Amino acid sequence: MNRRGGMLAVPVLLLILAGGCERWFGPEKSGEIQLSSQLFGSESYYLFGFGYEQAEYYRYPYQGEPVPDIINEAYRMIEGGEVKVLPGFNIPAQVNGFALVGEFTTLAEARSFYDDYKAVEQGLQFETVSDTVELFQVWIQQTSLGNYVKLLVKDINTLQGESGDLYSEVVMDYVYQSDGTPEFPD
């Protein structure tokens, strides 16, 4: 390589590194998310949901931000005189939804199924509001854009807010297929 070519390569490399991976490759399409049903605010209540396209958390409802693809909208139940808060998924755009594809007794079993689940099967019935979400389940979500997400439920907690209100929290791994095809990236 001549001297001029080498001198040109260094600024180009620095430009790429300074821009960061997200600028060149887009937001993460897989990772871990944590969804809470905790309500915030005093007169107008909201919670936080997650948008896969930008890999960002958004307030819902809120007119200044995009509508999230998924929120944790908890079910409140009374069992033996005690209030329980159980997690449930909701797709605020009310288009497409969730399908449960696997329930397991251990995280290792669920992880194996999740890792081996490479493509959305034909005939799944999607609901905009899920049933109660439980540990070690694998869900497929079809977003309002028609793209697919696979979700692995790793942890669920019931927590108490500062004012004494109960809320649920779900920790999941996800893989987002942003091109609308039913095959998930490796």
Contact 50, 35 (CB under 8 A): yes
Q: Is residue 1 part of a domain?
A: no
The answer to whether residue 186 is domain-embedded is no
Q: Find all residues with CB under 8 Å of 128, minimum gap 6, and list them.
A: 90, 91, 94, 95, 96, 97, 98
For residue 20, being part of any structural domain is answered with: no
CA distances from 63 to 44, 85, 153, 164 (A): 12, 27, 29, 28
| 125 belongs to a structural domain | yes
DSSP class of 54 = T
Domain that holds residue 105: 27-177
Is pLDDT above 50 for 117?
A: yes
pLDDT at 12: 46
Q: What is the average per-residue pLDDT within 115-125?
A: 97
Closest CA to 34 of 140, 132, 170: 170
20-24, 38-42, 141-145, 153-157: least confidently modelled range: 20-24
| Rounded mean pLDDT, 121-129 | 95
Task: Estimate to the nearest angstrom the gap between the alpha carbon of 70 and the chain centroid.
Answer: 6
Residue 136 lies in a domain: yes
Q: Which residues contact 31 (CB under 8 A, 6 or more apart)?
A: 55, 173, 174
Cα gap 122→138, rounded to integer Å: 16
Query: Residue 111 falls within a domain, yes or no?
Result: yes
Number of domains in the chain: 1
Of 15-19, 42-46, 138-142, the range with the lowest mean pLDDT is 15-19
Is residue 88 situated within a structural domain? yes
Predicted local distance difference test score (pLDDT) of residue 25? 54
Instruction: Flag the least confident range among 8-17, 57-66, 82-91, 141-150.
Output: 8-17
**Nearest-CA neighbor of 69 among 86, 48, 41?**
48
Residue with tokens 């808060």: 85
Query: Considering the domain boundaries, does residue 7 fall inside one?
Result: no
pLDDT in tens, 45-101: 999 999 999 999 999 998 787 999 999 999 999 989 998 899 999 999 999 999 999
This prediction has a pTM of: 0.84
